Structure 1
Amino acid sequence: MASVSSNNEKPTQKWFLNDNLGSESVESAKIVVGIPTYNEEIAIGSVVTEAQRYADEVVVADDGSTDNTVQIARNVGATVIEHEENKGKGSAIRTLMQYTTDVNGVDSLVVLDGDGQHLPEDIPKVVEPVLTEECDISIGSRYVETDETETPLHRRFGQRVLDYLTMGSSGENLSDTQSGFRAFSPEAVSRLNLRTDGMGVESEMISEATDRELDIDEVPIDVRYEEVDGQTFNPFVHGLNVAAFVTKLIRDRHPLLFFGVPALVLLGVGGGLLLHTAFLYQTTAAFHQWRALISGFLVLTGVVSLFSALVLSQVRNMVAHIE
């Protein structure tokens, strides 16, 4: 269950675009900024206040915070949707998308994090490609222009691993698949079928967008790590959870790749070991029992994996045709 509350006070300064962004139709667009939060009381007030300068409405989807996040967001004029318990970022983003579909005339939903890492002043830059119909999803990337950012080295390494895994599940070659700063067209909001409740939602969005033939673009943004409260969850645990989820995406969306490649490796290694065992028996008359057992096990496992890859790939294709 989720409850919705709003403050009747409207921001004194209405959303605007930079002068160089063009047409009157773009300038009159209706923008909703959505912020998924969990225990973000330190930064949420300033993030909402700044975001109000660029939005017709700022909506905070609070995912069961136990601090003062809800009260602060409501006091500065945000519409607040509360989850009774913590479910995960994916659940909060689905709530924001559902809210947007219930509001008439929204031209774009912009989602950014509530910890102060993203700069609301970049909202016009991120939303512009969606409003001008250049793409359905615009991702604010920290690395699209350069790989040199303030991102700590260990985080950047983990992000690159997740980028490659996401590319494996979606086929999209993006520079910053884990960025939470994104703008969505109404079509993207209505067509994305997000299922995960957890932190893998960014990767799932990209895979879903590819399946739905939605266009994705990246625009450069700035981020800040200094004086930011930081992630609610341990970055290492967060990375492992996302990697596990994306691996499942690859398994479900590309079973021929996921099971077929290991099958070929197992068949190659097992077959080679079996031939070598037979060669040793012929030349030395010595039968290496363990070599034969290991090679047989590898070949059998490879055959089962290859059979699974073919069957699951066929099932996946049948389901895709049904959808």
Structure 2
Amino acid sequence: MSEYDDVCVLLPTMNEAETVARVVEDFRDAGFENVLVIDGGSTDETRSIAREAGARVAEQSGRGKGQAVREAVRDHVDASYVLMADADATYDAADADAMLDPLLAGETDHVIGDRFADMRPGAMTRLNRIGNRLINLAFRAIHREDYGDILSGYRAFTRESFERLHLTADGFGIETEMAVECVKNRVSVAVVPITYRERPGGSATNLHPIRDGGVIFLELYRKAKTNNPLFYFGSAGVASTAAGAAMGAFVLYRYLAFGISHEVIAVGAVGAVILGIQLLVFGVLADMIHSLHREQIERYERAVDAGTPGRPSETGGHDAGEDRGSEGRGPDSTPHEEAGEADD
């Protein structure tokens, strides 16, 4: 019996023939017998090479990393713990112990590997590094949690906690969505320093920085609707109000300087300001409702943890019934004696 018998190593792949064997063998050498490769329709020899290296291989029914992860956990993983990594050999199997320790100790339900703790030269381009920093800053500002490196593909989590997350992203936005859903569902998260290496020569990345970065920013903003409504509606309100104020200033300047009136722009300016103020007010109200909802959920969870639901003694229902049934009885009286007293 290995200490990792209840752990499944999950490797989403797409044309990773150059590196997948090395990654599978590294994890198997580290003591992980259950290695699952979920392939997104590779056109190279990724699947056959992964099988030869000792991995279970499944071909996903759809496309994209997010869909692959959801399908793998739902249909192909029976273990209680999942260790997810990329198959491009940028992550180190030697970090698996540190990733799993908080889970196996019961300290947390989700672990994120922080690539910035030990990022090797050439592992990330300057553009990607700047983009990652901006996305992490945006995440902290919008969702008010600091997970260090929300775009890290090195994750460890319990299958039970994964099933609590409402995940819909199909592509590389899956990591961002998982981080946001952990905040939303109050899943405990630990951040562990890991090593991040340069991709081996000959392997090509499936990441498109500009396109995928834009998708991730949109995902962050979209998820703010239910997790931070004040930011979601307030930012749109501020933008609309600022646009209206700018148009109004232009109309006023043209009228005072040249005597030219711009009625249509003026009407648009007033409309934009009114819309912006309404959005700000709506954001404040939505944030209040969201806060009250979270308070109610927390109270309910505390009640469940304390075992109060159904406890009769605190509500007085069951105890009160017993008191009423025993009222007037002496400590030594019996039901038969009472019945006899009633007959008399």
| Range class of TM-score, shorter chain | 0.7 to 0.9
> What is the alpha-carbon distance in structure 2 between the residues aligned to residue 151 and residue 285 of structure 1?
55
- 1:298 and 1:97, CA in 2 relative to 1: closer, same or farther beyond 3 A? same
Q: Which has the larger radius of gyration?
A: 2
Counterpart code for 1:38: M
Structure-2 residue corresponding to 1:20 = none
Q: Is the 8 A contact 1:47 1:114 kept in 2?
A: yes
Counterparts of 1:234-313 in structure 2, within 5 Å, are: 234-264=208-238, 266-267=240-241, 270=244, 286=259, 288-289=261-262, 292-306=266-280, 309=283
> What is the alpha-carbon distance in structure 2 between the residues aligned to residue 112 and residue 303 of structure 1?
45
Structure-1 residue corresponding to 2:323 = none
Alpha-carbon displacement from aligned partner over 1:179-222 (angstroms, at most 9, x marks no partner): 00011124323322212112111011111111221111111111
Structure-2 residue corresponding to 1:213 = 186
Structure-2 residue corresponding to 1:89 = 65
Alpha-carbon displacement from aligned partner over 1:143-200 (angstroms, at most 9, x marks no partner): 2478988422111001112212333443221221100001112432332221211211
Query: With structure 1 as the length reference, what TM-score do the two structures score?
Result: 0.77
What is the Cα deviation at residue 82 of structure 1?
Answer: 0.8
What is the Cα deviation at residue 138 of structure 1?
Answer: 1.0
Residue 3 (structure 2) pairs with residue 30 (structure 1): no
What is the Cα deviation at residue 67 of structure 1?
Answer: 1.5
> What is the alpha-carbon distance in structure 1 between the residues aligned to residue 107 and residue 212 of structure 2?
32
- 1:280 and 1:188, CA in 2 relative to 1: closer, same or farther beyond 3 A? same
Alpha-carbon displacement from aligned partner over 1:264-287 (angstroms, at most 9, x marks no partner): 454366458758977998x89957
Q: How many corresponding residue pairs?
A: 294
- 1:268 and 1:140, CA in 2 relative to 1: closer, same or farther beyond 3 A? closer
Counterpart code for 1:247: Y
> What is the alpha-carbon distance in structure 2 between the residues aligned to residue 148 and residue 176 of structure 1?
18
> What is the alpha-carbon distance in structure 2 between the residues aligned to residue 169 and residue 226 of structure 1?
32
- 1:67 and 1:252, CA in 2 relative to 1: closer, same or farther beyond 3 A? farther
Counterparts of 1:6-155 in structure 2, within 5 Å, are: 27=3, 30-53=6-29, 54-85=31-62, 87-99=63-75, 103=78, 106-144=79-117, 150-155=123-128
Gapped regions of structure 2 (runs ≥ 5): 298-344
My pick for the range that moved more, 270-279 or 108-117, is: 270-279
What is the Cα deviation at residue 294 of structure 1?
Answer: 5.0
My pick for the range that moved more, 55-64 or 186-195, is: 186-195
Structure-2 residue corresponding to 1:156 = 129
Q: Is the 8 A contact 1:144 1:176 kept in 2?
A: no
> What is the alpha-carbon distance in structure 2 between the residues aligned to residue 279 and residue 263 of structure 1?
24
Structure-2 residue corresponding to 1:4 = none
What is the Cα deviation at residue 307 of structure 1?
Answer: 5.7
Query: With structure 2 as the length reference, what TM-score do the two structures score?
Result: 0.73
> What is the alpha-carbon distance in structure 1 between the residues aligned to residue 258 and residue 23 of structure 2?
77
> What is the alpha-carbon distance in structure 2 between the residues aligned to residue 135 and residue 147 of structure 1?
28
> Percent of aligned positions with the same letter in both sequences?
26
> What is the alpha-carbon distance in structure 1 between the residues aligned to residue 215 and residue 55 of structure 2?
31
> What is the alpha-carbon distance in structure 2 between the residues aligned to residue 152 and residue 285 of structure 1?
52
Q: Secondary structure at the match of 1:80?
A: strand
